[in-house]
Amino acid sequence: MTASIAFQGEPGAYSHQACHEARPHMKALTCGTFEDVIEAVRSGEADEAMLPVENSTYGRVADIHRLLPDSGLHIVDEAFVRVHINLLGVPGSTIADIEEAYSHLVLLPQCAGFLRKHAIRGRVSPDNARAARDVAERGDKSHAALASELAGEIYGLDVLARHIEDHDRNTTRFLIMSREPDMTRRADRMMTTFVFQVRNIPAALYKAMGGFATNGVNMTKLESYMVGGSFTATQFYADIEGHPDDRMVQLALEELAYFTSHLHILGTYPADRLRD
């Protein structure tokens, strides 16, 4: 039986592209929401989940950090995917034919220069892959979609222009999650992700972070978000370089634990080659 990986979105979405690139041997399973993705793995319908956590242009993906700690899943890998935007039209159309281009709200501004140059009006669609599907179904040569090449292949559209984004470094980071943790050291460079809540004492966060500095552990991300609908209950999400078995990481986590009321490791995994 072929293993499967669940993602949020329609076929051809950038999360689908991430599945193809990071898990080419697995069957990609579409889901309507991030909660559906998590439930598909928890129920055994899928073996892994592909979840976007942040984008180099638009920052963190809403709701993901809230969902991860209570998902019951474990991070086993990460994947950085370049978001290349393409102008997709119905077969036989040309750039000169295009009057309107449809895509998700966050993609349209990333192609503003190209659209302006070709006098193409941007139109909002719920999803870039949905835009490609709708353009294919309408069959109107004056309409195009801004989406991945994968979406073009799936819906039978021609690539009229490749990589039309204004900035060439737009990248999305994905976390791959599984029902079972994998705490083995399976690469020279490992990452560890955890969440924690500090104790209600003065300078608790400052003191909690001190252990990472004094032990030379590089913290690549630290974000805060409210929990339980309270302005005073804050949880922190952190990524560090290293494995929990590393001596310096052990010392840093021990010091962190002293100043926290809750500490939960979400996973340890190889650093993606595109991380830098």
The set of catalytic residues is 172, 174
Q: Residue 80 and residue 66: Cα distance in Å, rounded?
A: 21
Angle between helices 247-258 and 204-214 (to 10 degrees): 170
Identify whether the C-beta of residue 159 lies closer than 8 Å to the C-beta of residue 95: no
Q: Which helix (H) or strand (E) holds 219?
A: strand 219-226
Q: Residue 52 and residue 109: Cα distance in Å, rounded?
A: 20
Q: Residue 97 and residue 73: Cα distance in Å, rounded?
A: 47
Q: Residue 52 and residue 43: Cα distance in Å, rounded?
A: 20
Q: Residue 73 and residue 270: Cα distance in Å, rounded?
A: 17
Residue 268: beta bridge partners?
192
* Residue-wise DSSP of 50-102: EEEEEETTTEEPTTHHHHSTTS--EEEEEEEEE---EEEE-TT--GGG--EEE
**How many residues appear in the chain?**
276
Which structure tokens are listed for 147? 């989406």
Q: Which helix (H) or strand (E) holds 237?
A: strand 234-241
